Chain A
Amino acid sequence: MAPKKLGLKQRYAHMTRGLDWETTYQPMDAVFPYDTFEGIKIKDWSAWEDPFRLTMDAYWKFQAEKERKLYAVLDAFAQNNGQTGVSDGRYVNVVKLFLTGISPEEYQAHRGFAFTGRHLRGAGPRVACQMQSLDELRHIQTQIHTISHYNKYFDGISEFPHMHDRVWYLSVPKSFFDDARTAGPFEFMIAIGFAFEYVLTNLLFVPFMSGAAYNGDMSTVTFGFSAQSDESRHMTLGIEVIKFLLEQHPDNLPIVQKWVDKWFWRGHRVLGLVAMMMDYMLPKKVMSWKEAWEIYFTEAGGSLFQDLARYGLKAPKYADVATADAEHISHQNWAVFYQYTHAAAFHTWMPDKEHLDWLSEKYPNTFDKYYRPRWEMWAEMEKQGKRFYNPSLPQLCQVCQIPMAYTEPGDPTKIAFRCSEVGGETYHFCSDGCKDIFDGEPEKYVQSWLPVHQIFQGACGGATIPDVLNYYRMNVGADNMDYVGSPDEKLWNEWHAGKAREAV
């Protein structure tokens, strides 16, 4: 009789649980110094129900298969000059925003999960974190390979790792991950695994990938698909970690609640970049940011937190403020980039009448009253040859590091100003959410590297805007400024003039 094959669950148990042992030369606390200082109490590490039951050999096999498919599509896209077939040359700025603002955070997530995978003393979560760490490394690789094709033709992409550590708006996603990675391993898991990958991921990945699909960018769609099965694994890990922590000890609840509040708010602020992308940057629009927020946060998040209520966990503090912000955030963000286009590594443009009408329709309560006049005023100024630029540097929020452009809840005509005093120094914030985060751990955020303050301290190449852009390695006149009049636009028009000639 042939030996009976092990079931998946048994096989998994044999492949993973035996990896673990109690150390004898050194006490366990010295080997795992990071998993207690946050105050999280774990009674039984073996209670971790591994949601994946994926072993390393199976992991390599699945991933290799996905890579083969992805690279076949990328080759075909390149050979067919797929870049000429996207909806409009403006679309490529979405890809630029993704590579400069999101891909480096995949790498940060890789580093963070590698660290967490080393420092949790339970074997189950260690293995899960290790795999997610590898996934994240694969994601940044496939994203770089996909977008490198666009880099042959379009500006603003080539210096993305250099820019990530320096450019003012890239400090927003960078500081988000820096904050998570400098926390303990449990906070990192709640920040990235739960708040970002579980609660908010559909507001990041779905808009970019469906945006790519609507706009003819098959290469980006394909890396999205290739990452998607990984993402669903990450979501499962995110939900598992929160249940595990809440089931282990009642003392964990207030700590976890504080992290959920914090990371929901930080995530919401970072996602403002996606909001702007959806409402202003996609030549063919998928849905408005407000609609996406309703589907993916209000509905999906609502039922998630109902489910978690049995552990005593409440919906994130300020979720209602974030939902009200969904009316405003995309307009306020695109206005920031429009007036600071000289310092951005992607192109901006004035929305045309058809686009403004679409926004009026999608935001009937606010757009015509508050935002449409702003665009119409700037359009008039453009016509008079006085295109509006902001010549000064903006005040930044000490926590999210975004220019303090957000308005008071309930009054879109007033900037929200909040501040705290610590050790005789004043700190400014864009919102109650950011102020709460600061007040919870001021010792951390008084050390923030705020791009505008660093420029004034002389740490960014010099005192003038050209000095700073040089320090950013921004190719002035190509990477920055409006799409209209850019080398990108010239190239795009040449391709399409060529196509029209061939058709005659």
Chain B
Amino acid sequence: MPVTALAPGYADKIEHRDALKNFHGNMLVYVHWEEHLSFCSAIAFPLPPAMPFGALVDQVIKPAYAAHPDAEKIDWSTVVWMIDGKETKPDLAASLEANGMKHKSLVRFWTPGLGGFKGSAS
């Protein structure tokens, strides 16, 4: 549905406020650890598209979730990854871009065997 606007041609004049070019060479990446809702929502990061996926795991994801008692029990080799709704096996050495990620991609991951505090998904 088009916008209901007073000015003719309004829709052609707008700018996407969060366009990639506004993030100084970074792209937005959202990450979510499933079944661990102590982290109330997915979390957001501005990251270089050339960053290797392995660096995303080691330098971004691990410290972000370290406060959870389950964090140190994660076996990263068994983690199930989903990027933008598709289950995938990311290449840790390849860049985020080469792994099919783009600006505002959502990375969800499951840690089999770990279901949060007493299995409550917390």
* Chain A residues proximal to chain B, CB less than 8 Å: 33-34, 37-39, 183-184, 187, 332, 335-336, 339, 369-370, 373-374, 376-378, 381, 386, 388-396, 403-405, 407, 412-415, 417, 419, 422-423, 425-428, 439-444, 446-450, 452-453, 456-458
Contact = CB atoms under 8 A, between A and B. Distances in A.
Interface of B: 1-6, 10-11, 14-19, 22-24, 26, 28, 30, 32, 34-35, 37-46, 63-64, 67, 69, 102-106, 108, 116-118, 120-122
A446 B17 contact: yes
Given A403-B40, A413-B35, A374 B120 contact: yes
B2 A415 contact: no
Given A391-B64, A423-B16, A453-B28, A377 B44 contact: no
Q: Is the interface of A mostly helix, strand, loop or mixed?
A: mixed
The 8 closest A-B pairs by CB, nearest first: A413-B121, A392-B43, A373-B120, A443-B3, A377-B117, A374-B122, A395-B42, A405-B40
A412 B122 CA distance: 10
A415 B32 CA distance: 9
B15 A457 contact: no
B40 A335 contact: yes
A423 B116 CA distance: 38
A225 to B, nearest CB: 36
Q: Which of B24, B28, B34, B42 has the most CB of A within 10 A?
A: B42
A190 B69 CA distance: 48
Nearest to B115: A413
Contacts of B41: 336, 394-395, 403-405, 415
B117 A374 contact: yes
A43 to B, nearest CB: 21
A374 to B, nearest CB: 4
Contacts of B28: 453, 456
Nearest to A407: B37
Nearest to B108: A417
Contacts of A33: 6
Nearest to B120: A373
Given A37-B6, A388-B67, A390-B43, A378 B38 contact: yes
B1 A441 contact: yes
Contacts of B122: 370, 373-374, 377
Contacts of A423: 16
Nearest to A413: B121
Nearest to A447: B17
7 contacts: A332-B40, A374-B117, A377-B122, A395-B44, A404-B42, A417-B106, A426-B102
Contacts of A332: 40
B10 A425 contact: no
B16 to A, nearest CB: 5
B104 A428 contact: yes
Nearest to A393: B44
A273 to B, nearest CB: 15
A39 B44 CA distance: 39
Contacts of A403: 40-41
